[in-house]
Structures are given as C-alpha cells and as structure tokens.
Amino acid sequence: MSGQIALGLPVAAVLFAIGLAGVLVRRNVVVVLMSIEVMLNAGGLAFVTAGARWGLPDGQVAMLFVLAVAAAEVSVGLALVLRVRDAFDTLDTDEVSRMRG
C-alpha cells in the first residue's frame, strides 16, 4: 500500500477533528458553518482515499454526493444566518440559544 493511501485516513480524521473543534468552540454562526464544511470535506477525503485503495470509482461518486449535500446545506444555512441576524441582531450562537418565539 502506497504512502498517500496509508496517510489519507489519518489526515481525514485530523481535518474532521479540527472541524468538530471549530463547531464546538467558535461562537460565530458563519464560522460554525465553515467548520461544518471542513467536516464534510474530511468525510469526502476519507471516501476518495478508500476508493483509491480499491481502485474503484465508488469513492469518487460518494464525494460527488457530499458536494451536492454541502451545496444544499450551505445555501439553506446561510439563509438561516441572515434570518438570525435580522431577528436577533447578533451572530453569537450563545445569544441565539434561547429559541423562544
């Protein structure tokens, strides 16, 4: 097994962990969304690495679906961010955690 395949999954795990830390630690909603993007990307990297390991295109197909999901998620998420900004006048996730009507 060649080097990049052996290293691909650890790199994906590290990127996912950094993205998770960003989601948990940062309080700006936009940065939280960006961290989710990093996590999706790390998952896709794991798919592509596994696909390269077996020499099959299925991993790349899975990454294409990850791309589609990420695009849909970002469009809805950013629209929600605009609404949160309008309604609460802040982007701080702690401020928005009350969820009263």
Partner 1 sequence: MIAAFYAAAAVAVLSTLLMVTRPSVVHALLYLIVSLLGTAVMFLALGAPFLAALEVIIYAGAVMVLFVFVVMMLNLGPSSSHADWLSPRAWAGPALLAAVLGIELLWILASAGPPSEGVRAIAPARVAESLFGTYLIAVELGSMLLAAGILGAYHLGRRETGRARR
Binding site for partner 1 (CB under 8 A): 1-5, 7-8, 11, 14-15, 18-19, 21-22, 25-26, 28, 30-31, 33-35, 37-38, 41, 44-45, 48-49, 51-52, 55-61, 63-65, 67-76, 78-83, 85-86, 89, 91
Nearest distance, CB of residue 100 and partner 1, angstroms: 18
Contacts of 5 (CB under 8 A, 6+ apart): 49, 52, 53
The answer to whether the CB of 91 falls within 8 A of the CB of 28 is yes
**Distance between CA atoms of residues 5 and 51, nearest Å:** 10
Nearest distance, CB of residue 97 and partner 1, angstroms: 19
Rounded to the nearest 10 degrees, the angle between the axes of helix 29-54 and helix 3-25 is 160
Nearest distance, CB of residue 43 and partner 1, angstroms: 11
